[in-house]
Structure 1
Amino acid sequence: MPTLARRPVSRRGLVIRLIVTALILALLGGALYGFNTFRNKAISDFFAGNKPPPTPVALAEATVQSIPKYLTAIGTLTASRQVTVAPEVAGRVTQIAFESGARVKAGDPLVQLNDATEQADLLAQRAQGRLAELNLERARDLRRSQATPQSSVDQFQAQLDEIMANQKRTQALIAQKLIKAPFDGELGIRQINVGEHLDTGAAVVTLTDLSTLYVNFSLPEQTLPRLAVGQKVLINADAFAGRDFEATIGTIEPQVSADTRAIKVQATLDNRERMLRPGMFANVRVVLPPQPDTLTVPETAVDYTVYGDSVFVAKNGKAEDGADRLTVQRVPVKVGDRLPNRVEIRSGLNPGDRVVVSGQLKLANGAVVVPAEGNPLTAPQTLPRN
């Protein structure tokens, strides 16, 4: 069977095929490039015409005002008068005349120890005293009639004096066996029971005067020129957070501690409401004259970081279309004393600068912002007066 022979391709035909193929590929590449260019431009135009809206934020002004100044310390509350009631003599408890936690007055009886023997001794001494008085009178009558010498009268007088001295000693022992409250105050938890034998000095109950407390604290020696007896002190305890109790400096230690280079101070606090208790820790603020012309901002405006503190400052500007707009810029600041809801700014801002006090997490330098509805630019809060 005869075979069909393939006609050889001429060099010219091969060249034509290669040119056609190259043209097709070039057209496809150009079309793909043009499509990608058109798509990217369309996307750019779309986002250029759809810029994100301004970020709503709350703004406040940096203002100049007079602020209170303090010396701060940590103190401890102690009772002005506190004792552990204890017997002066040993004895068995026959009666307990108080309840734990009761308020008592000075002189109120608390505990009776057995004094039966002393009471009997007192009766006998009184009888001896009456007899000694009779003997002394007889001796004086005899002396007036020169029937007895003066030495006999003196002897009977000495006997009477000795008996009377013994009576006073017995009465004193009886009084010691009736334990009384030494001052007005509140009793603690009872430590004894009826029938129990108490040794001299054994603890019966604690007695504390809560009407007045002392606040003991220390301050660096550099603060000594700013301290004075009678100076006002504000006390805050963790148990009553947010409430200040007023005290007055009563004593300043006359010498500085050689170990700590601090000076001890004691303030007196009126505690008639009996809210505070001895042993509590206290945050102490010694009130100083206020500092005038101080720049402050709301505390929420400051971003505290390990790299430094800063705030976002809002400034007026112009958009590309000429419309007014508000942008923010992060500004580093140096922070001073912290106040209730505000903070002192020592550098970085000027009076009247508008700072962002809410919404900072969504901001960056140059971001466009708008005051949030319901959060207009507000004046600073009034600081407390002392």
Structure 2
Amino acid sequence: MKKIITILVLGGLAWAGFQYLQQNKGPEAKRARIVPNVVVATAAMQAVRDEVEALGTTLANESVNITAKVTEVVASVNFNDGDLVAKGELLVQLQDAEQRAKVTVAKVKVSDHQRELKRISTLVTNQTVAETERDRLQTAIDTAKAELEQAESALRDRRIVAPFAGRLGLRQISNGALLTPGTSITTLDDISSVKLDFSVPERFLTDLIPGKDVEASAVAYPGELFIGKVLSVDSRVNPATRAVTVRAEIPNPQAKLLPGMLMKVKLIKQSREALLVPESAIIPIQKKHFVYLVNGYNRVEQRQVTVGLRKRGWVELTDGIEMGEQIIIRGILKVRPGDEVKPEQEEHFGRHYDDNGETAA
């Protein structure tokens, strides 16, 4: 009987001690029950591109150095630095008084010979004048016309005009200057669109097809992309660099891009849809790759995946994940498969997570 009473007393004391411990657990015991917060991302299809990066230099669509064809004094300069000009617009007028006089003389000769030919035509028909006289006058007319064309050409050479529409460079001459052939007057560039030349390693030759998309950026315009297409590919590979020059064309309606600019280029070899996840979600273990998922019961699951193309900050998953599944991208180190978690779609500004999932301001 005493033994039974002793057992009952000890059992009661043990139960009382258990209840006391349960009611008076310390901070560590309470912290162990906290469900950790994790940040998840939804697996979704996104555009993925296979691209080649390079550095390129811009060229004007058309470019010319304006010079004179003859030696003559400048009569007037009709442009300013940086002007936009139309095709055929007069840029420089050279002195041309002598040439205009020669044109007038040549026109008078042509008219005089034509009147004389008309006068004797009837006489030749009536056989009053020999046909050789008519032939002589016809030759004189042809010669006078040739002299007229020569004089008009010399007169045109005194007018220096824009060969195409574009933007002028800096003016290099002044009124009264004596120009000689080859003297630089200014430059003219058509930059309504620009050419972009860049080098690509020869191993990509099969992908270099005219019409491929390119994206380019310039230091002068941070954050802005200029879109163009491959125009042509050089017919030779540089034997020193083992690279081939590719030329792309980029529309430039606002004239932001100027010849000679250095640009970072991305040649888009292929574009397609793929299942992408942030790179921070991948857990590499030896040669295998895993991710942690959050299921419908807010429990962590480990899943082996197959990794495809990688791009900056993102990884393509070709197998192991379905669209719409929630993948843990932050807080991976504080959870294990089977743990209960509190998933959040994004990290809140100003909130930090400790090792046990608690938040602090």
Give the counterpart of 1:106 among 72, 87, 103.
87
Secondary structure of the 2:190 match is strand
Secondary structure of the 2:254 match is coil
Q: Which residue number corresponds to residue 354 of structure 1?
A: 328
CA contact 2:167–2:191 (8 Å) conserved in 1: yes
Give the counterpart of 2:197 among 192, 197, 216.
216
CA distance in 2, matches of 1:81, 1:229: 20
- Taking only the aligned residue pairs, the percentage that are identical comes to 26
Q: Does 1:245 align with 2:226?
A: yes
Residues 271-316 of structure 1 deviation map (CA, whole Å, 9 limit, x = unaligned): 112121121111111224345555532x7889xxxxxxxxxx9999
Q: Which residue number corresponds to residue 70 of structure 1?
A: 50
Residues 253-278 of structure 1 deviation map (CA, whole Å, 9 limit, x = unaligned): 34433332222221111111212112
Q: Which residue number corresponds to residue 355 of structure 2?
A: none
Q: Which residue number corresponds to residue 146 of structure 2?
A: 165
* Alpha-carbon distance change, 353 to 174 in structure 1, aligned in 2, over 3 angstroms: same
Secondary structure of the 1:183 match is coil
Q: Does 1:338 align with 2:318?
A: no
TM-score scaled by length of structure 2:
0.69
CA distance in 2, matches of 1:136, 1:196: 46
Residues 106-144 of structure 1 deviation map (CA, whole Å, 9 limit, x = unaligned): 111111111111111122222222222233234434323
* Alpha-carbon distance change, 346 to 68 in structure 1, aligned in 2, over 3 angstroms: closer
Task: Give matches, 1:45-56, under 5 Å.
Answer: none
CA distance in 2, matches of 1:105, 1:48: 82
Residues 203-243 of structure 1 deviation map (CA, whole Å, 9 limit, x = unaligned): 11111111111111121222222232212211111111212
CA distance in 2, matches of 1:159, 1:286: 65
CA contact 1:210–1:277 (8 Å) conserved in 2: yes
Q: Does 1:188 align with 2:169?
A: yes
CA distance in 2, matches of 1:165, 1:58: 91
Return 208-217 or 69-78, whichever deviates more: 69-78
In structure 1, list runs of 5 or more residues that go unmatched: 1-45, 303-312, 317-325, 327-333, 379-386
CA contact 1:66–1:290 (8 Å) conserved in 2: no
Secondary structure of the 1:239 match is coil
Q: Which residue number corresponds to residue 28 of structure 1?
A: none
Task: Give matches, 1:30-49, under 5 Å.
Answer: none
CA distance in 2, matches of 1:85, 1:159: 38
Q: Tell which structure's C-alpha radius of gyration is larger.
A: 1
Q: Which residue number corresponds to residue 307 of structure 1?
A: none
1:344 is displaced (CA, Å) by 2.7
In structure 2, list runs of 5 or more residues that go unmatched: 1-25, 283-290, 300-306, 350-361
CA distance in 2, matches of 1:293, 1:124: 79
Return 248-257 or 165-174, whichever deviates more: 248-257
Q: Paired residues, what number?
A: 308
Secondary structure of the 2:147 match is helix
Secondary structure of the 1:204 match is strand
Which amino acid in the other structure matches residue 283 of structure 1? Answer: K
Q: Which residue number corresponds to residue 214 of structure 2?
A: 233
CA contact 1:70–1:285 (8 Å) conserved in 2: no
Task: Give matches, 1:1-386, under 5 Å.
Answer: 59-61=39-41, 63=43, 65-72=45-52, 73-290=54-271, 293-297=274-278, 337-339=310-312, 342-344=313-315, 354-356=328-330, 376=347
CA distance in 2, matches of 1:129, 1:226: 64
Q: Please report the RMSD computed on the Cα atoms of aligned residues, expressed in angstroms.
A: 4.2
- After superposing on structure 2, the runs of 4+ consecutive aligned residues of structure 1 that deviate more than 6 Å are 46-51, 299-302, 313-316, 363-366, 370-374
* Alpha-carbon distance change, 71 to 373 in structure 1, aligned in 2, over 3 angstroms: closer
1:377 is displaced (CA, Å) by 8.7
Higher fraction of strand: 2
Residues 43-96 of structure 1 deviation map (CA, whole Å, 9 limit, x = unaligned): xxx999999xx9x99744584644422323111111111111111222110011
* Alpha-carbon distance change, 64 to 220 in structure 1, aligned in 2, over 3 angstroms: farther
CA distance in 2, matches of 1:107, 1:245: 31
* Alpha-carbon distance change, 296 to 373 in structure 1, aligned in 2, over 3 angstroms: closer
CA distance in 2, matches of 1:315, 1:148: 113
